[in-house]
Amino acid sequence: MARLDRRTFLELSAAGIGAATATGLPAEAIAAAEASPFKPEKGAQLQLLRWTEFVKGDRTAWEENTKKFTELTGVPVQIQWLNWPDVSPKAALAAQINSGPDLIMGWNSDAYLYPDKLVDVGDLVDYIQKKSGYVYPVARSYCYHDTLKRWISVPIGVPGNAMAYRKDWMEQAGFQSFPTDMDGMLALARAMKKQAHPCGFSLGHAVGDSQGWSHWNLWGHGGRQVNADNSPAIVSAETLSSIEYAQQLFETMIDGVASWGDANNNQAFLAGQISLTMNGISIWYVAKAQYPKLFPVTYNALPPLGPIKQRTQFSTFTHAYIWKYSKYPNAAKEYLRFMLDREQAGKWVTDMIGYITPAYRGFSKLPVWTSDPNVTPYRDVLDGARFDGWPGVPGRAAAQATDQFVLIDMYADVCINKMAPRAAMQKAENRLTQIYKSA
Amino acid sequence: MPAVLILGGLLAYPLFLGVWLSLTNTVLGSPGQFVGFQNYIDLISDPTYRGAAMFSIAYTFFAEIGKVSLGLILALIVNQKFAGYRIARAMMLMPYVAPTVLSALAWLWLFDPQFSAISWLLMKIHLIHAPINFVGSPTHAQISVIVVNIWRGLPYFAIGYLAGLQGINKDLLEAAAIDGASAWQSFWRITWPLLLPVTTILVSFSAIFTLTDFQLIWTITRGGPTDATQVFTTLAYQRAITGGSLGQGAAVAISPIIFMIFFAWFVVRSVREERATA
């Protein structure tokens, strides 16, 4: 495939030859690249480290878009795909030795761990926001450093969490629609369990799944792990309510959830062993592609509201940061601009049927979100989404509390270890005190 | 001189760097300041660390007992000459030569609460009615990871013991048999005492590796449920790498060195004794 660098493009344009025709690239993409303020350095080449895809469409679209970028700019991009929990350790290594990939697609508080090492990407974020809408507040929390007063990472989005459930079993249990509040969902889970269809939520050290539902539960009841000043605040009546809710929900779960990693609920659902779980769209996506009998009864819904009657979502948030040690920061910015441009990102999101919900509000208008009612809940997962450690200060302590599974361990202590709720809550508070003191 | 440089570069430098980091409050990406023993003082009052230390020791202790006893039994079996004994000896090495992370993944599947092949088999032959919850409770998880460690380390012991058994002078055993000693008496009075030096070395080396085991536990439980299978290494990784507190993580990683020095001293002493008696 012939490459078209900027110089060639100008020459072709000057000669009146449509570059779009020459490369097969849409004219809009070429025009946007030309108008972009981010000019790749001469001889630039990029290394991107990003997490391995959860759904097939992600990788193919991402690689296709990357190829287009290289055709357009002449900048080769080498992508290193890595199992998603391993990205943060690799990023940590890069920070420590000042060497490695030019840019990384990482998670949650990554950028907050080494903000001084990262390129200011404020100009790029502004540029994307102007074109694709403002970011949801959670994106700003992870990517804008309030103390340094600058953007340290470029928001991308979330593999959002919603409820995946079996519609046939729900109806057999006497429910016509998926409940919109937590009490209703508990009643549904109980009714389905009576019919030998348990639900399943990870109570183990599952990096994504256990965090998703435990935060939803705590926040939905009005609890919080720390206050805005990072002082531990988990001991509260609200937390206690959330523990009681977890206990009741646990009674309706399948055996073994305390050993569940991130893949277990997908496997159990697709094997017809559970009726309800919280997950990304991957269960529905895989059912659509590979389970023709299961697919018509696999449905998704937004997580029900807790007693505080507000949407309180937690999802692992992905964003991209550029290292100061990179010799090609402008090329990296241009790459991200190109990949997050409506044309390319729209295709990316559409091809993976909404696995990633983009952090920019403009993408909520993509037709993919309304292409099936089961995709629509994932469009809205960023409404009310909160960052880890909310409402404290994002950063090392919040990351450690999440990495050390303080919250899910609190629920597991009660459900699995039969610890008294107050004792489990106090234990969590002690752990948080230790973490926030020493981190 | 090259040996000194290699040892210095590969062993001494990382060790001293680790010790130095553990005395600082270094966080990822920025140099820290010297804080003396503060990280260690913090660890003493940290219940998660205390739990990890306790389980690390229990993990090592029970795994070593399992490996010694089963390794010896295995060695005694394959020390016999039976049809296909060479193949049996080669097969015995399988757990040891398979990459740890791959065998850990295989065990992860075997321990799956819903799809375990072990549970499936036992249910098929009507020994159980529901899948076994292998790693779904703290005690189960602790036992399960110890079992995997025993499985993984068994060949090392079996081979070591096999070598030890083959080094025993047959005349001694024959003389005992002529004197009317039973098989158990021969084993207990002759074989076992002669295997003691090799046992000391096997246990000491293995204990060092078991105490610093990471891959098995990280792959199977990530330290869960509720930190029940957290050990020194998993906690150090969590604190230093994913959490970014290098100083604190280094302190966790350096703290088991006391035990390792003890094991190393044990090895050196037993080797010396063996030389003296030789």
| pLDDT tens series, chain B, 278 aa | 778 888 777 888 888 999 999 999 998 777 789 999 999 999 998 889 999 999 999 999 999 999 999 999 999 998 888 888 888 888 888 888 888 888 889 999 999 988 899 999 999 999 998 889 899 899 999 999 999 999 999 999 999 999 999 888 888 888 888 888 888 888 888 889 999 989 988 998 899 899 999 999 999 999 989 999 999 999 999 888 887 888 999 999 999 988 788 877 877 777 777 667 65
For the cut 70, the answer to whether the pLDDT of residue A16 exceeds it is: no
A198 touches chain B (CB under 8 A): no
CA dist B231 and A331 (Å) reads: 43
- Cα nearest neighbour of A439 on chain B: B245
CA dist A279 and A282 (Å) reads: 7
| Chain B interface mutation, best of A114, A205, A243, A323, highest count of B Cβ atoms under 10 Å | A205
CA dist B243 and A387 (Å) reads: 16
Find how far residue B168's CA is from the centre of its chain: 27
- CA dihedral sign of residues A430, A310, A257, A204: negative
Residue listed under structure tokens 């440089």: B5
A257 touches chain B (CB under 8 A): yes
A114 touches chain B (CB under 8 A): yes
C-beta atoms surrounding A240 within 10 Å: 16
Strands of A276-279's sheet in order across: A276-279, A162-166, A298-301
Answer yes or no: are the C-beta atoms of B43 and B23 closer than 8 Å: no
Residue (of B274, B266, B79, B213) closest to B159 by Cα position: B79
Cβ–Cβ pairs < 8 A, chains A and B: 134
B107 touches chain A (CB under 8 A): no
B32: amino acid identity, one letter: G
Prediction pTM value: 0.86
Answer yes or no: are the C-beta atoms of B56 and B256 closer than 8 Å: yes
C-beta atoms surrounding B41 within 10 Å: 12
A80 touches chain B (CB under 8 A): no
Alpha-carbon distances, residue B263 vs B71, B153, B160 (angstroms): 20, 17, 18
Contact A431 B248 (CB under 8 A): no
- Cα nearest neighbour of A397 on chain B: B243
Angle value at C-alpha B142, between B141 and B143, nearest 5 degrees: 90
- Cα nearest neighbour of A204 on chain B: B225
What one-character DSSP code corresponds to residue A369?
A: G
Confidence (pLDDT) at B29: 72
Of all residues in chain A, the percent with pLDDT exceeding 90 is 80
Contact B242 A399 (CB under 8 A): yes
Identify all chain A residues contacting B221, using CB atoms and an 8 Å cutoff.
204-205, 259
- Residues A237-284: tens digit of each pLDDT: 999 999 999 999 999 999 999 999 889 999 999 999 999 999 999 999
Residue (of A313, A201, A288) closest to A248 by Cα position: A201
Mean pLDDT value across residues A328-333: 98
Alpha-carbon distances, residue B98 vs A130, B144, B152, B155, B157 (angstroms): 54, 19, 9, 11, 16
Answer yes or no: are the C-beta atoms of A52 and A79 closer than 8 Å: no
Residue (of B242, B211, B251) closest to A86 by Cα position: B242
Identify all chain A residues contacting B29, using CB atoms and an 8 Å cutoff.
95-96, 113-114, 116-117
Alpha-carbon distances, residue B24 vs A414, B31, B41 (angstroms): 36, 9, 13
For the cut 50, the answer to whether the pLDDT of residue A21 exceeds it is: no
Confidence (pLDDT) at B84: 83
CA dist A202 and A259 (Å) reads: 7
Answer yes or no: are the C-beta atoms of B49 and B227 closer than 8 Å: no
Find how far residue A323's CA is from the centre of its chain: 21
| Burial of A2 (C-beta count, 10 Å sphere; 0-12/13-18/19+) | exposed
A86: amino acid identity, one letter: D
Phi then psi for A253, rounded to 5 degrees?
Answer: -95, 160
- Cα nearest neighbour of B28 on chain A: A96
The partner residues of A299 in beta bridges, in order of sequence, read A165
Tokens found for residue A348: 């990316």
Higher pLDDT, A11 or A382: A382
A95 touches chain B (CB under 8 A): yes
| Burial of A382 (C-beta count, 10 Å sphere; 0-12/13-18/19+) | buried
A403 touches chain B (CB under 8 A): yes
Residue (of A317, A315, A312, A313) closest to A109 by Cα position: A317
- Residues A362-410: tens digit of each pLDDT: 999 999 999 999 999 999 999 889 999 999 988 888 988 998 899 999 9
- Residues B218-257: tens digit of each pLDDT: 999 999 899 999 999 999 998 888 878 889 999 999 999 8
A433 touches chain B (CB under 8 A): no
| Residues 6 or more apart whose Cβ sits within 8 Å of residue A264 | A200, A202, A206, A257, B112, B113, B114
B248 touches chain A (CB under 8 A): yes
Confidence (pLDDT) at B274: 66
CA dist A144 and B174 (Å) reads: 80
CA dist A73 and A67 (Å) reads: 10
**Residue from the list A113, A204, A412 with its beta carbon closest to the beta carbon of B28:** A113
A271 touches chain B (CB under 8 A): yes
CA dist A326 and A117 (Å) reads: 10
Contact B238 A431 (CB under 8 A): no
Q: In a 3-state reduction of DSSP, which class is residue A341?
A: coil
